[in-house]
Amino acid sequence: MTTTAVPATDLGFLLHKHPDRVQEFDRSFGTATVFYPESGEERCTAALLLEVDPIALVRSRGKNSPDFSLSQYVNDRPYAASSLLAVALGDVFRTARAGRCKARPELPGRPMPLEIRLPALPCRGGPELAVRLFEPLGWAVEARAVPLDEGFPEWGDSRYVRLTLSGTVRLADALNHLYVLLPVLDDGKHYWIAPDEVDKLVRAGEGWLYGHPERGLIMRRYLGRRWALARTALARLAELGDETEEQLEPAVDEDAAAGETAADEAAAAEAEAQGEAPEVKPKALNVRRREAVLETLEELGATSVLDLGCGQGELVGALLARPRFARVAGMDVSAMALTIAARKLRLDRMPDSKRARLTLFQGALTYTDKRLSGYDAAVLMEVIEHVDPPRLAALELVVFGHARPQHVLVTTPNIEYNPRYEFLTGLRHRDHRFEWSRAEFAAWASRVAGDYGYQVTFKPVGDDDPEVGPPTQMGVFTR
């Protein structure tokens, strides 16, 4: 990867790898080496050399893996820029991919002239496909098929392509393009497709994959033709819901620590193959938030609940599953969200007794609406931060002034917690109009409670960090 931005040595800062050093990273499938063949003011090139150890590769696979054959031992992996290169690039340049640079925070946001060369890229679909995938992302693409054997042109081309990409692109984007598209072109993703592949795709594809003209092909291939996973990924890439933040995990700052990921994955696969239960992951924040809301509603003794900005209906579903909630309503401004909610809730197949307890309707929180009256409690879960600050007063009036339920539960991100998220650069979601500190939220909530005759108490949701507080904050208003 070469840049001609001046000073070109900034590439070292961005990649978090010093141009004067040769660094090796051991991975379960081989060794990745990062070095700089040239590093001058005018031109700087960083190289990632991956030496795949085919034996280690076989060993790190689960016993039940489908491909127990000679091809495990004799294959192109050591020689080609396969999905393994993407895995190596993904974790060796993890910090760069997240667009973070402590030493020079202004650098990652800047597009820079880049040239990326991949001498032997397995490319199912030929050079044309490489063009179709990279061109829409702003790359000038030169893709040439490598002949099977230069001595025998009549044998035709191999499935390998010599690829050169040039463009003025942010480095983090460039790395994420490669991270996603190399396995897509390779189309021979050898390791298991785990549900967390969706998380990886959603993270790496943020900002460019959803609008890509070949999105369908990219997702199908990346996810190994698992349609269900591809659909999940698509729903999450859409602006719907507020799920980006849940995919973020607390910061692990050093790239060095990332080495564990590949090994852990292999170990987990191995354990699973031997019938052991995989290690239980801590509960995702969205799950903990839903549980906190449900628990609070139960404590308050609410039996009719209005979920305002219900998104894809996850809370609505959980409420319906508990018979104590006799009436449940979900409202959202997005018709698309409601359509997905109806599908996820299997509205068409819902037993009549359950169906009778549920109302789903479209509406906007900034206009008074008779349909909002008559519930014990209203929930605004991760919704207020989607409303423009000048429109908040309207929301307050609609919810606290007109609907006036006995209780209102409001959850919103605690911005103080954001530095704990490794992949986060700005706010937690593209559509967030603001995120508040604990003090800002408390000030808003107390003022609203005072204005409309409510009392408010606060509850942390998620691990309450001694320094920065919990990831989510909740205000519980009672009339």
Contact stretch for ligand SAH (CB under 6 A) within 35-43, 82-90, 214-222, 363-371: 363-371
Contact stretch for ligand SAH (CB under 6 A) within 144-152, 352-360, 381-389, 453-461: 381-389
Nearer to ligand SAH, 177 or 386 (CB): 386
Nearer to ligand SAH, 206 or 214 (CB): 206
- The three-state (H, E, C) secondary structure of 410-445, written as one string: EEEEEHHHHHHECCCCCCCCCCCCCCECHHHHHHHH
Give the count of beta carbons closer than 10 Å to the beta carbon of residue 22: 12
Query: Which listed residue (173, 187, 314, 396) binds ligand SAH by CB under 6 A?
Result: 314
Asked if 383 touches ligand SAH (CB under 6 A), the answer is yes
In this structure, the chain runs to a length of 479
DSSP-derived secondary structure for 313-369: SHHHHHHHTSTT--EEEEEES-HHHHHHHHHHTTGGG--HHHHTTEEEEE--TTS--
Contact stretch for ligand SAH (CB under 6 A) within 77-85, 329-337, 350-358, 444-452: 329-337
Query: Which listed residue (382, 396, 416, 435) binds ligand SAH by CB under 6 A?
Result: 382
Q: Does residue 122 contact residue 153 with C-beta atoms inside 8 Å?
A: no
Q: Could you say which residues in the range 238-297 bind ligand SAH, by CB under 6 A? A: 241-242
Nearer to ligand SAH, 71 or 373 (CB): 373
Q: Could you say which residues in the range 156-195 bind ligand SAH, by CB under 6 A? A: none
Q: Identify residue 33 by its one-letter amino acid code.
A: T
Cα gap 92→15, rounded to integer Å: 9
Contact stretch for ligand SAH (CB under 6 A) within 12-20, 43-51, 97-105, 377-385: 377-385
Query: Which listed residue (205, 311, 413, 471) binds ligand SAH by CB under 6 A?
Result: 311
Cα gap 236→223, rounded to integer Å: 14
344 contact partners, CB below 8 Å, separation of at least 6: 312, 313, 314, 317
Which DSSP letter does residue 111 get?
A: E
Asked if 381 touches ligand SAH (CB under 6 A), the answer is yes
Asked if 387 touches ligand SAH (CB under 6 A), the answer is yes
User: What burial class does residue 201 get, using C-beta atoms within 10 Å of its C-beta: 0-12 exposed, 13-18 middle, 19+ buried?
Assistant: buried
Cα–chain-centroid distance for residue 352?
37
Asked if 471 touches ligand SAH (CB under 6 A), the answer is no
Asked if 377 touches ligand SAH (CB under 6 A), the answer is no
Query: Which listed residue (118, 174, 337, 424) binds ligand SAH by CB under 6 A?
Result: 337
Asked if 332 touches ligand SAH (CB under 6 A), the answer is yes
Asked if 52 touches ligand SAH (CB under 6 A), the answer is no
Q: Tokens at residue 253, please?
A: 């700052």
Nearer to ligand SAH, 11 or 381 (CB): 381
- Longest Cα–Cα distance in the chain: 86
Q: Tokens at residue 349, please?
A: 């197949």
Place of tokens 């980006």: 244
Place of tokens 């969200």: 337
Asked if 197 touches ligand SAH (CB under 6 A), the answer is no
* CB neighbour burial string for 147-185, b if at least 16 within 10 angstroms, e if fewer: eeeeeeeeeeebbbbbbebebebbbbbbbbbbbbbbbbb
Q: Smallest gap, in angstroms, from Cβ of residue 470 to ligand SAH?
A: 16
Asked if 309 touches ligand SAH (CB under 6 A), the answer is yes
Nearer to ligand SAH, 58 or 333 (CB): 333
Q: Smallest gap, in angstroms, from Cβ of residue 314 to ligand SAH?
A: 5
Nearer to ligand SAH, 92 or 285 (CB): 285
Contact stretch for ligand SAH (CB under 6 A) within 43-51, 217-225, 358-366, 416-424: 358-366
Asked if 329 touches ligand SAH (CB under 6 A), the answer is no
The residue ranges that bind ligand SAH (CB under 6 A) are 241-242, 309-311, 314, 332-334, 337, 364-366, 381-383, 386-387
